[in-house]
Amino acid sequence: MKYLLLAPCLLIACTSFVYAADDPAGETPKKEEPKPEEKKEEPKAEEAPEFATIDKKAPDFTLKNAKGEEVKLTSFADKTVVIEWVNFDCPYVRKHYDGGAMNTTRKKYTEKSVVWLQICSSAQGKQGHFTGEALTARIEKESCDAACYLIDEDGKVGQKYKARVTPHMFVIDKKGVLRYQGAIDSVKSDKKEDIEGATNYVAAALDELLADKVVSTKETKPYG
C-alpha cells in the first residue's frame, strides 16, 4: 500500500527535475510507457469436500444399481437429487413404507423431475443386505425402482456422507450443492401413525428449491 502512495510522488519529483535542468538539445522528455496490466487468474472451481457438508458440493460417487449398472452422482447435473439411505428391514424405514408415505413423497417429486436415489450400505450378512433374485423381489415388493437402488456394500459412500442410520436423507440442488441433510421428518418414532402432523423436512426443502427459494431448514438430526 505504501508503494502505491509513494509512486506518484516519485514520478512528480523526477519530472520536475527534468524540466528544471538545462536541455541543450531542446528535446521533450519521453513519457514512460504504461505497463501492461497483469493478467488476473481465473477463480478455481470449487472442489467437493471429502465429506458431505451443507452448502458445499456433494461428494461424487459411483455405485452399481440393482440391475448391475454403474450410476454416477455427477451424471445428474442440472437435476435436483434426493438420496435416501435405506434398509428395508429397519423399523424406522418400515414406518415410512408400510403406510406408503415414502413412496407417495418420492412419486410426487420424481414427477417434477427430481431424481430420487436409494443407497443401501448394509454389509453382507447384515440386516437389509440383499442380492440377486432376493433383491429384485424385495425392490418390487416395496414398489421401488431397481435403476435407482444403489449398493454400497463396503460402506465407503456411507462414510463420505456420514450416513449412520436409516432413513438418512440428503437433498442436492441443480448445481450439485448439498442443501439439506438429516431426518425425513420431525417426529422421532417408528410408528406410522406419527407421520400425520409431522413436518416432512425433505418435502419442505424440495418445495423451496423448486420455487427457487433458499432452504430454510438445512440440517436436522437423523433418527433410525
pLDDT at 72 (0 to 100): 98
Helical pair 101-110 and 201-210, crossing angle rounded to 10 deg: 10
Q: Are 158 and 85 in contact (CB under 8 A)?
A: yes
Angle at 170 between CA 79 and CA 156, to 5 degrees: 105
DSSP code for 76:
G
pLDDT at 33 (0 to 100): 55
pLDDT at 23 (0 to 100): 39
Q: Which domains does the chain have, with CATH numbers?
A: 62-210 (3.40.30.10)
pLDDT at 46 (0 to 100): 60
Write out the DSSP string of 20-42: HS--TT-PPPPPPPPPPPPPPPP
46: CB partners within 8 A, 6+ apart = 56, 57
In the numeric block, which cell numbers belong to residue 128?
A: 437389509
Q: Are 176 and 58 in contact (CB under 8 A)?
A: yes
pLDDT at 49 (0 to 100): 81
Write out the DSSP string of 80-134: -EEEEE--TT-HHHHHHHHTSHHHHHHHHHHTTT-EEEEEE-PPTTSTT---HHH
pLDDT at 87 (0 to 100): 97
Mean pLDDT for each consecutive 10-residue tract of the chain (224 residues)? 34 30 42 50 59 97 98 97 98 96 98 98 92 96 97 97 97 98 97 96 98 98 96
pLDDT at 44 (0 to 100): 46
pLDDT at 17 (0 to 100): 26
Q: Are 171 and 206 in contact (CB under 8 A)?
A: yes
pLDDT at 27 (0 to 100): 47
Query: Among all chains, which residue has been given the C-alpha cell 418420492?
Result: 106
Angle at 202 between CA 201 and CA 203, to 5 degrees: 95
pLDDT at 12 (0 to 100): 31
If you compute the radius of gyration of the chain from its CA atoms, what whole number of angstroms results?
Answer: 29
Q: Are 66 and 135 in contact (CB under 8 A)?
A: yes
Counting Cα atoms < 13 Å in the Cβ hemisphere of 155 gives 11
Q: Are 62 and 72 in contact (CB under 8 A)?
A: yes
